[in-house]
Amino acid sequence: MAERVLVIGSGGREHALAWKLAQSPHVQQVLVAPGNAGTASCGKISNSAVNVSNHTILAQYCKDHNVALVVVGPEVPLAAGIVDDLTAAGVPCFGPSAKAAQLEASKSFSKSFMDRYGISTARWSSFTDPQEACSYIQGADFPALVVKASGLAAGKGVIVAKDKEEACQAVLDIMKDKAFGAAGDTVVVEELLEGEEVSCLCFSDGSTVAAMPPAQDHKRLLDGDKGPNTGGMGAYCPTPQVSGEMLQQIKTTVLQKTVDGMKEDGIPYVGVLYAGLMLTQQGPKVLEFNCRFGDPECQVSNHPPPK
C-alpha cells in the first residue's frame, strides 16, 4: 500500500529528499514541514504548516494524517530528540537519537569518542575556561590552530587562526563575547589540517554501514576559494579525490569503526552518518561528524561510487 511520508526541514537537501522519496512506488504523498518554495506544490510533494518543534503536537499530527514515516533533514531537531519522542509515541522516524546525534552536536563528545576508538583526527583539547584555553594555545607545538565552539553553530562556529594571537582572540570571542551563544560554553582547540576536504556519508542501521559515493562541497563563500567558510556553496559527486580503494579504507577505519564504537557505548547510531574528512599526507583524518545528510551533498549524491 502506498504511504504518506513527512520530511522535516526547509533546505535544498529536504527538496532533494522529498523528490527522491516521491519516486518510490511505496510513497503516495510527501509532506515537507516547513518546506520551501520548491516543495510548496510539486507533484506528490506539498508543504505542511505543522509545528515541528513541539514533538507532542507533531506526533499527534502524524497519527491524524496517517504518516507512515518521518525523515529528518537538519541536525537541530535530531539533537533536540525528535527521533526519541516520535519513536516513543509510536511514529516511525528515520535518524539518530539525541544521544547519538551528539557526534555532531558536541565536538568535545565526538573528539573524545574518536580518541577512545582510535579514529584518526586532528590533535586537540577542550576547555570550559578561556584562560586555560589560551595557555594551551601558547604552549601548543602545532604551527597553526583551529578554534571551535563545541556545540551546534550552523557550520559557523569554527575559526581557522593565522597565528596564536588570533587563536586566543577567537577563544575570547567565543567564550566571553558568546559569538555563538551557548554553543561556545566549551571550546575545542585543535591543530590545523591541510589537504583536500571530502564528505563521506553512509547509511547505518546501528550495526552495519552502506557507504554513499564520496562528495566534495565548495566551502568558501567567494570564487577562487576566497571568503569565509560556509555550510557549502555547491557540491559535486563522486569526487575523483577519493578512489574506490580509499573509500573502502574510510568505510572500514572511520564509518564502520564509529558505528561499532557507538554500539559498544550503548548508543546505537541509526541514520545517516556524515564524516567530513581532510585527506592529509598522513592519510584521511576526521574533521567532524554530522548526524544527517549534507546540504548540498544530498543534492548530488545520485551517481554510482567510483570503481
217 interface partner picked from ligand GLY, ligand AMP, none, CB below 5 to 8 A per type? ligand GLY
The position carrying cell 537541530 is 76
DSSP 117: T
CB of 192 to ligand AMP, least distance (A): 4
DSSP 304: P
CA-wise closest residue to 91 among 127, 65, 114: 65
160 interface partner picked from ligand AMP, ligand GLY, none, CB below 5 to 8 A per type? ligand AMP
- Verify binding: residue 179, ligand AMP, rule CB under 6 A: no
Question: Which residues have CB under 8 Å from 132's CB, separation 6+?
Answer: none
Residues of this chain, 282-301, that bind ligand AMP according to CB under 6 A: 287-288
171 interface partner picked from ligand AMP, ligand GLY, none, CB below 5 to 8 A per type? none
CA-wise closest residue to 296 among 229, 243, 237: 237
Pick 122 or 215: Cβ nearer ligand AMP? 122
294 interface partner picked from ligand AMP, ligand GLY, none, CB below 5 to 8 A per type? ligand GLY
Phi, psi of 125 (to 5 degrees): -155, 155
283 interface partner picked from ligand AMP, ligand GLY, none, CB below 5 to 8 A per type? none
Q: What are the residues binding ligand GLY (CB under 6 A)?
A: 155, 217, 231-232, 290, 294-295, 297
On the CB side of 14, CA atoms within 13 Å amount to 27
Pick 146 or 259: Cβ nearer ligand AMP? 146
Is the peptide bond prior to 96 cis by the omega test (within 30 degrees of 0)? no
295 interface partner picked from ligand GLY, ligand AMP, none, CB below 5 to 8 A per type? ligand GLY
- Verify binding: residue 111, ligand AMP, rule CB under 6 A: no
State how far Cα 253 lies from the chain centre: 18
- Verify binding: residue 193, ligand AMP, rule CB under 6 A: yes
- Verify binding: residue 146, ligand AMP, rule CB under 6 A: yes
Helix locations, 150-254, DSSP H = 164-175, 244-250
Integer Cα distance of 230 and 155 in angstroms:
7
- The cell numbers describing 272, all together, are 545517516
CB of 195 to ligand GLY, least distance (A): 17
Q: Is 10 left (phi over 0), alpha (psi -120 to 50) or beta?
A: alpha
CB of 181 to ligand AMP, least distance (A): 16
Point out which residues bind ligand AMP (CB under 6 A): 122, 146, 148, 155, 158, 160, 190, 192-193, 197, 219, 229, 276, 287-288
